[in-house]
Amino acid sequence: MAMPKIKFRWIILILIIIAGSFAAFWYTRPKPITVVVKLVEKGLVEKTVANTRAGTITACRRAKLSPGIGGQIIKLPVREGDFVEKDALLLELWNEDIMEEAKFAQKEADANESRSKAACLRAEIAQRDADRLSELHKKNLISLEKLDQAMTGAKALKAECEASKAAFLMSRSRMGVVQANLKRTRLTAPFSGIIAEINGELNEYVTPSPVGIPTPPAVDLVDNTCFYVAAPIDEVDAPAISTGMAARITLDSFRDRNYEGKVKRVGVFVLDREKQARTVDVEVEFVNTADLENLLAGYSADVEIILSIHPDTLRIPTEAILDGNRVFVFSESEEMILEKKIKSGISNWDFTEVLSGLEMNEMVVVNVDQAGVKDGVKAKIQGEPK
């Protein structure tokens, strides 16, 4: 009877060891990781390039104006934010001396004009008299000496007429010089626009910039009817861009809007302001004029230039790709992550075209940077695949 009891105890002990081992295995086994997946689908994929640093909303026309001469401001009829029409007076310097000089030049020109008319009238009368005496001389009614005196007098008066005409033209030119100097004391708008900035007040003295030393403009005028985006593009991407290409514009100030754009100009040289990030300036204009409302020069902006479009192609999220040709897919039947090699086509930040290696509705893992994601690992998906 002792032997069966001993065997039974061993059997119980073995069963306890097996149960403990199973329990240890069960509680220490690797738990399946949770992954986020996206379905392989068909859709639009674009190949795009974007600016490397923030671009800037730039006015098509902007004039930083200053008077051509120094002087004291006596008229400043505009304020910052005012809209002005073309040729409107923006600023005027003290110019009474030039105005008086202009009046004097005008009167002098008028006087010379009158003297010229009088001299020319006398020359005409003298010439007619000389012509009559010439006819009388042919009939031997007057002497040659008298005719010669009359002819010489007519020539002298004609010369005096020409001289007075020249004096009149000189005085008119002098008047033009004075008028030009007067214009230099007045600042007018070269185009219609908004007054962005004024540097100066009434009775203050302004001076033009010395050569090589820039000074703030007296008036900064911005055309608010036309804007474009100037953005730096990496030198590697620039050769693929050409004028007329479609683009999208986004602004930090209006994050919920995308603006339709078109490449207006591509820079003709590389900027090396930052030695390790050489760029080419690209200008993108707004396609719809209605989009220009509420825009301000100086807003930061980003551009995405569309190089090519594949409208109905197999695609996956770009974030799911590793090393350009590897993805992880979730096998629903095995509840496991499997690694696959793919061949990709065009790509952007959102989607990458898949040329081979995947089929429609396969589930690719997008959170590939999560710890534990590797080939052959048990997993479960978070939520429903989309």
Say what the pLDDT of residue 3 is.
53
Same domain for 84 and 34?
Answer: no
Q: Say how far apart CA 238 and CA 282 lie, in whole Å.
A: 8
Number of Cβ within 10 Å of residue 144's Cβ equals 9
Final residue of a structural domain among 221, 243, 277: 221
Residues 105 and 176 in one domain: yes
Whether residue 191 sits in one domain with residue 178: no
Q: How far apart are CA 181 and CA 203, in angstroms?
A: 20
Report the range out of 17-31, 243-257, 372-386 with the highest average pLDDT.
243-257
- pLDDT for 30 equals 61
Task: Tell me how many domains the chain contains.
Answer: 3
Inside any domain, residue 262: no
- pTM metric for this prediction: 0.66
Residue 118, domain member (yes or no): yes
For 212-226, what is the mean pLDDT? Answer: 85
Euclidean distance between CA atoms 314 and 309, whole angstroms = 13
In a domain, 76, yes or no: yes
Going by pLDDT thresholds of 50, 70 and 90, the confidence category of residue 111 is confident
| pLDDT of 1 | 46
Per the domain annotation, does 16 fall within a domain?
A: no
User: Are 119 and 163 in the same domain?
Assistant: yes
Domain's final residue, options 183, 203, 232: 183
Q: Note whether 68 and 192 are same-domain residues.
A: yes
Residue at 283 is within a domain:
no
Neighbours of 78 (CB within 10 A): 19
Q: With cut-offs at 50, 70 and 90, classify the pLDDT of residue 274.
A: low
Q: Would you say 280 and 305 are in contact if contact means Cβ atoms under 8 Å apart?
A: no
pLDDT-derived band at 27 (thresholds 50, 70, 90) equals low
Contact in structure between 281 and 336 (CB atoms under 8 Å): no
Q: What does the pLDDT look like over 52-72, one tens digit per residue?
A: 888 999 999 999 998 888 899
User: What local confidence, expressed as pLDDT, does residue 383 receive?
Assistant: 72
**pLDDT per residue as tens digits for the range 166-189:** 888 888 888 888 888 888 889 999
Is 324 part of any domain?
yes
How far is 331 from 109, CA to CA, in rounded Å? 100
pLDDT of residue 21: 66
**86 and 139, same domain (yes or no):** no
If asked whether residues 87 and 200 sit together in one domain, one would say: yes
Q: Is residue 296 part of a domain?
A: no
Question: Which class for 53: exposed (0-12), middle (13-18), buried (19 or more C-beta within 10 A)?
Answer: middle
* Structural domain span for residue 143: 96-183
Side-chain-side CA neighbours of residue 231 (13 Å): 33
CA distance linking residue 312 with residue 252, whole number of Å: 31
Q: Has residue 240 been placed in a domain?
A: no
